[in-house]
């Protein structure tokens, strides 16, 4: 009996989280990038170590077989459920979510579309864009185009991640978005095109200092960096208009 317990403990100890993560990446590399996008490898390994703690080699193999059969990588907590034989829990939702483009590819599509509305975009990309349309529109009037673009693009990627999760939960599949109106006139197209830097008034040093100071105040009040910078730029524009009036 004692030998059995010792043998089982040794079997558990032999399982290395880094090895499991490596197999994840080898089985479904594109899905791996989507699931763990931007997360450092050492943090992924750390989370996996926690989630496979106490599991046997047979249980780990069961979970890895499900990764192989489903063709996508779950997060570590979901992988533990698979290892324990809990099937169907979130599996279909993750499969739908995994079928969507990654957020960087989605952003590239939206940037092309804002410059040429004849380009195709997906339903999820359009919904994410709708949620931060004002930020994209602000690029047209920004004194600092690079910063305004950065804020809009980061907001879009955050929104896109939320949208595909919501769509998956509601069983909404990815498809090409079709406008309810005909888009193709120069007037409409121009609305989405950022103005060339030469037509934009350079941001003064005073404006830059004011925006930096105001964004820090907003962050201290609990606002995220991106939202604080965007709000500070918006207030600075209103402040400038008031001074002119």
The pTM of the full predicted model, rounded to 2 decimals, is 0.48
Higher pLDDT, 23 or 236: 23
Instruction: Inform me whether the pLDDT recorded for 190 exceeds 50.
Output: no
The pLDDT score that the predictor gives to residue 52 is 92
Q: What radius of gyration, in Å, describes the C-alpha atoms of the chain?
A: 24
Average pLDDT, the chain: 76
Reported residue count of the chain is 245
Instruction: Inform me whether the pLDDT recorded for 195 exceeds 50.
Output: no
Instruction: Inform me whether the pLDDT recorded for 50 exceeds 90.
Output: yes
Q: Which two tokens stand for residue 79?
A: 């992988």
Q: Which two tokens stand for residue 186?
A: 């120069």
Higher pLDDT, 52 or 206: 52
Higher pLDDT, 202 or 99: 99
The pLDDT score that the predictor gives to residue 130 is 92
Question: How large is the average pLDDT for residues 96-114?
Answer: 78
What SS3 state is found at 116? Answer: coil
The pLDDT score that the predictor gives to residue 48 is 93
The pLDDT score that the predictor gives to residue 197 is 41
Instruction: Inform me whether the pLDDT recorded for 227 exceeds 80.
Output: no
Are the CB atoms for 99 and 173 separated by under 8 Å?
Answer: yes
The pLDDT score that the predictor gives to residue 60 is 92
Within 8 A by CB and 6+ apart from 16, the residues are none
Question: How large is the average pLDDT for residues 216-226?
Answer: 80
Q: Is 242 exposed, middle or buried (0-12, 13-18, 19+ CB in 10 A)?
A: exposed
Stretch among 23-27, 138-142, 214-218 having the lowest mean pLDDT: 138-142
**Percent of all residues in the chain with a pLDDT value above 90, rounded to a whole number:** 13
**Residue appearing with tokens 């919501």:** 166
- Taking only the tens place, the pLDDT of each residue in 58-87 is 999 999 988 888 777 888 988 898 898 876
The strand pairing partners of 176, in sequence order, are 122
Secondary structure string (H, E, C) spanning 93-134: HHHHHHHCCCHHHHHHHHHHHHHCCCCCCEHHHHHHHHCCHH
Instruction: Inform me whether the pLDDT recorded for 29 exceeds 50.
Output: yes
Nearest to 135 by CA among 242, 231, 239: 231
The pLDDT score that the predictor gives to residue 186 is 41
Higher pLDDT, 195 or 32: 32
Within 8 A by CB and 6+ apart from 194, the residues are 114, 115, 139, 140, 145, 149
Instruction: Inform me whether the pLDDT recorded for 207 exceeds 90.
Output: no
First to last CA, the chain: 88
- Taking only the tens place, the pLDDT of each residue in 108-137 is 888 888 888 888 898 889 999 999 988 888
The pLDDT score that the predictor gives to residue 46 is 92
């Amino acid at each position: 009996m004692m030998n059995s317990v010792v043998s089982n403990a040794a079997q558990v100890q032999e399982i290395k989280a880094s090895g499991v993560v490596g197999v994840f990446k080898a089985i479904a590399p594109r899905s791996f990038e989507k699931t763990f996008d931007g997360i450092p490898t050492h943090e992924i390994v750390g989370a996996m170590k926690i989630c496979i703690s106490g599991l046997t080699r047979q249980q780990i193999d069961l979970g890895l077989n499900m990764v192989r059969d489903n063709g996508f990588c779950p997060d570590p907590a979901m992988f533990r459920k698979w290892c324990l034989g809990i099937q169907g829990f979130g599996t279909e939702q993750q499969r739908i979510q995994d079928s969507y483009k990654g957020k960087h590819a989605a952003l590239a599509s939206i940037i092309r579309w804002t410059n040429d509305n004849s380009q195709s975009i997906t339903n999820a990309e359009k919904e994410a864009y709708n949620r931060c349309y004002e930020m994209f529109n602000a690029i047209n009037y920004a004194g600092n185009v690079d910063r305004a673009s950065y804020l809009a693009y980061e907001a879009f990627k955050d929104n896109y991640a939320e949208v595909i999760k919501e769509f998956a939960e509601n069983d909404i599949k990815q498809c090409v978005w079709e406008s309810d109106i005909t888009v193709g006139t120069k007037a409409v197209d121009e609305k989405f095109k950022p103005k060339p830097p030469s037509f934009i008034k350079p941001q003064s040093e005073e404006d830059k200092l004011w925006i930096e100071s105001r964004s820090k105040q907003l962050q201290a009040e609990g606002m995220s960096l991106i939202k604080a910078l965007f709000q500070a730029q918006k207030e600075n524009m209103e402040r400038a208009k008031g001074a002119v009036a």
